[in-house]
């Protein structure tokens, strides 16, 4: 039976239309991290078209100022903040080009989603909401600044490049959270960790058989928000398979490519290997048995895991065995997933690591991680642990870059108290107040502007940073209504 709801409802027709029409327009503009030229041009033209003061800074951020509505000129200034870029993740079957193709979003059973790619609700809904506020001639508000930051998903370089004394507002509303009904007052800091292995090439002896090993079907997800769900990590799974093949059949590795982005739990990994022809049958049976065992282990969290061992042409050259053994041991020893839960906020992850990427290049293999913690000392301890993994591997080197600070919760925040009251009045219940195990730009911006009173909130988004990403339409309406009420409720000191 055809789903008429899907057929008859388009994205711009959803409520609130003031927001969804902008989300649809954004979905038509390619904007993966690092390729934000088109969306930056679009948003800047939008601001200037409204006759508003619009500026682009050296880091690629856009700042648009809108005067207060009549009678609210003396209210505290508010900064509405969202990021321009989106995470480019797609399924193995998708031929989507994130630098060229629009996102094909559709409505189904109360959610907006897409086919085979990330949706870009993170943070397209936030951007759309800000555009709708800027465009409105009727919403009451004090002095407004709209801050659209660049490259949040791949290093937060826009927030890091934000200069002091540019922003004038006293309150920052970050519209980049993903659970409606929750107000976030703190977030984890992060650090990029990289281990590099050098290798030499060895010739493959005669009478060797080639195989491609493929791990796929995992859910993946956001490496902060979803790290506690126990989902499979394609790099860890591939490493177990390679170790088993090395132990049982003297496996040699020609190439490996697992994961994609540091902030996405890796869903897929592929390797090209070779084993002696006379042990090929044992090799295949061993890996099939291990793959079935891993699938059973992950049956609840990742029921669609696939482990495939396919015949392939035997490679001419492989990675030297000493480097391979070092790689296998290092990936096995490298922490992954939740390292420690918070002792202060129940159910919140304090420290984690995402073993995000394992890829061979000419003469080297690079292992990339994203470390997160709300406690600086714990983040440093985790980095030391990963560095020791590299130190134990002959010839490997480690580096740590791109660090950004966490955002320390302030339960006495005036804007928090106001927003709790407004939420209760609007929806008849209290919002939850939480910290989030993900990197929000609040930590960085708050470091540059230490006097800001900040809150992060948003609609309900599920499975961000994966092709299953979707946003709940009813929560978008509530998010919009709440935002409108908050802007109207912020008065002078």
In three-state form (DSSP H/G/I as H, E/B as E, the rest C), the secondary structure along the chain is: CCCHHHHHCCHHHCCCHHHHHHHHHHHCCCCECCCCHHHHHHHHHHHHHCCCEEEECCCCCEEEEECCCCCCCCCCCEEEEEECCECCCECCCCCCCCCCCCCCEEEECCEEEECCECCCHHHHHHHHHHHHHHHCCCCCCCCEEEEEECCCCCCCHHHHCCCCCCCCCCEEEECCCCCCCEEEEEECEEEEEEEEEECCEEECCCCEEEEEEEEECCCCCECCCCHHHCCCCHHHHHHHHHHHHHHHHCCEEEEEEECCCCCECCCCEEEEEEEEHHHHHHHHHHHHHHHHHHHHHCCCCCCCCEEEEEEECCCCEEECHHHHHHHHHHHHHCCCEEEEECCCCCCCEEEEEEEEEEEEECCEEEEEEEEEECCHHHHHHHHHHHHHHHHCCCCCEEEEEEEECCECCCCCCHHHHHHHHHHHHHHCCCCEEEEECCCCHHHHHHHHCCCCEEEECCCCEECCCCCCCEEEHHHHHHHHHHHHHHHHHCCCC
Q: Do 210 and 74 belong together in one domain?
A: no
pLDDT for 119-166, tens place per residue? 999 999 999 999 999 999 999 999 999 999 999 998 899 999 999 999
Is 302 among the residues known to form the active site?
A: no
Residues 328, 458, single domain; the answer is no
Residue of 36, 122, 145, 152 marked active site: 152
**Domain boundary pick from 348, 377, 404:** 404
pLDDT confidence bin for 4, thresholds 50/70/90: very low
Alpha-carbon dihedral sign for residues 257, 258, 261, 262: negative
Model pLDDT, residue 347: 85
Range of the domain at 167: 4-188+407-489
Query: Is residue 200 domain-shared with residue 318, that is, in the same domain?
Result: yes
Instruction: Kindly name the residue from 85, 122, 178, 179 that is annotated as catalytic.
Output: 85
One domain, residues 343 and 230? yes
Q: Which of 404, 436, 451 is the last residue of a domain?
A: 404
Whether the predicted pLDDT of 7 surpasses 50: no
Does residue 1 surpass a pLDDT of 70? no
Segment 423-441, tens digit of pLDDT: 999 999 999 999 889 889 9
Indicate whether 85 and 226 sit together in one domain: no
Domain final position from 357, 386, 404: 404
Same domain, 253 and 168: no
- Per-residue pLDDT tens for 441-461? 999 999 999 989 999 999 999
Question: Comparing 197 with 411, which gets the higher pLDDT?
Answer: 197
Average pLDDT, the chain: 95
- pLDDT higher than threshold 70 for residue 493: no
70 and 178 share one domain? yes
- What CATH number corresponds to the domain at position 96? 3.40.630.10
As a whole number, mean pLDDT of residues 231-248 equals 98
pLDDT tens-digit map of 18-42 = 999 999 999 999 999 999 999 999 9
Residues 294, 148, single domain; the answer is no
Residues 180 and 196 grouped into a single domain: no
* 302-358 pLDDT tens trace: 999 999 999 999 999 999 999 999 999 999 999 999 999 988 778 889 999 999 999
Domain containing residue 237: CATH number: 3.30.70.360
pLDDT at 439: 84
pLDDT at 230: 96
The pLDDT of residue 6: 45
Please tell me whether residues 55 and 183 are part of one structural domain: yes
Q: Calculate mean pLDDT across residues 472-486.
A: 98
Question: Does 261 lie in the same domain as 132?
Answer: no
Mean per-residue pLDDT, 58-65: 98
Number of domains in the chain: 2
Q: Is 152 a catalytic residue?
A: yes
Q: Clarify whether residues 103 and 160 are in a common domain.
A: yes
């Amino acid at each position: 039976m055809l789903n008429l709801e899907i057929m008859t409802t388009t994205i711009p027709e959803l409520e609130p239309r003031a927001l969804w029409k902008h989300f649809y327009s954004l979905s038509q503009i390619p904007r993966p991290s690092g390729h934000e030229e088109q969306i930056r041009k679009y948003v800047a033209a939008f601001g200037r078209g409204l006759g508003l003061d619009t500026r682009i800074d050296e880091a690629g951020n856009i700042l648009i100022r809108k005067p207060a509505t009549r009678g609210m000129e003396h209210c505290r200034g508010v900064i509405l903040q969202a990021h321009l870029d989106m995470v480019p993740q797609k399924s193995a079957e998708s031929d989507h080009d994130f630098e060229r193709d629009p996102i094909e979003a559709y409505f189904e059973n109360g959610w907006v989603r897409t086919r085979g790619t990330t949706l870009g609700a993170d943070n397209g809904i936030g951007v759309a909401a800000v555009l709708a506020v800027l465009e409105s001639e009727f919403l009451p508000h004090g002095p407004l600044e709209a801050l659209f930051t660049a490259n949040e998903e791949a290093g937060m370089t826009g927030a890091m490049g934000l200069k002091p004394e540019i922003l004038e507002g006293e309150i920052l509303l970050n519209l980049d959270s993903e659970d409606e009904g929750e107000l976030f007052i703190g977030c984890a800091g992060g650090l990029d960790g990289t281990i590099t292995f050098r290798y030499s090439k060895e010739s493959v002896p005669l009478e060797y058989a080639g195989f491609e090993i493929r791990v796929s079907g995992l859910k993946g997800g956001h490496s902060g928000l979803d790290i506690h769900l126990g989902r499979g990590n394609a790099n860890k799974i591939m490493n177990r398979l390679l170790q088993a093949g090395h132990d049982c059949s003297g496996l040699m590795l020609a190439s490996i490519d697992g994961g994609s982005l540091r902030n996405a739990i890796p869903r897929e990994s592929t390797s090209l290997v070779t084993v002696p022809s006379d042990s090929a049958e044992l090799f295949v049976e061993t890996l099939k048995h291990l793959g079935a065992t891993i699938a059973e282990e992950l049956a609840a969290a990742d029921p669609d895991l696939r482990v495939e061992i396919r015949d392939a042409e035997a490679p001419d050259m492989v990675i030297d065995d000493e480097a391979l053994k070092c790689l296998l041991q290092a990936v096995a020893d490298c922490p992954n997933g939740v390292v420690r839960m918070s002792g202060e906020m129940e159910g919140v992850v304090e420290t984690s690591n995402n073993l995000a990427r394992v890829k061979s290049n000419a003469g080297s293999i690079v292992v990339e991680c994203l470390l997160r913690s709300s406690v600086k000392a714990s983040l440093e301890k985790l980095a030391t642990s990963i560095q020791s993994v590299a130190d134990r591997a002959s010839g490997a080197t480690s580096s740590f870059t791109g660090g950004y600070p966490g955002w320390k919760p302030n339960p006495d925040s005036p804007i928090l108290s106001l927003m709790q009251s407004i939420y209760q009045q609007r929806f008849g219940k209290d919002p939850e107040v939480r910290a989030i195990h993900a990197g929000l730009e609040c930590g960085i911006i708050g470091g540059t502007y230490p006097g800001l009173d900040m809150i992060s909130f948003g609609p309900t988004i599920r499975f961000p940073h994966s092709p299953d990403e979707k946003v709940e339409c009813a929560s978008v309406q509530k998010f919009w209504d709440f935002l409108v009420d908050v802007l109207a409720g912020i008065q002078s000191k």
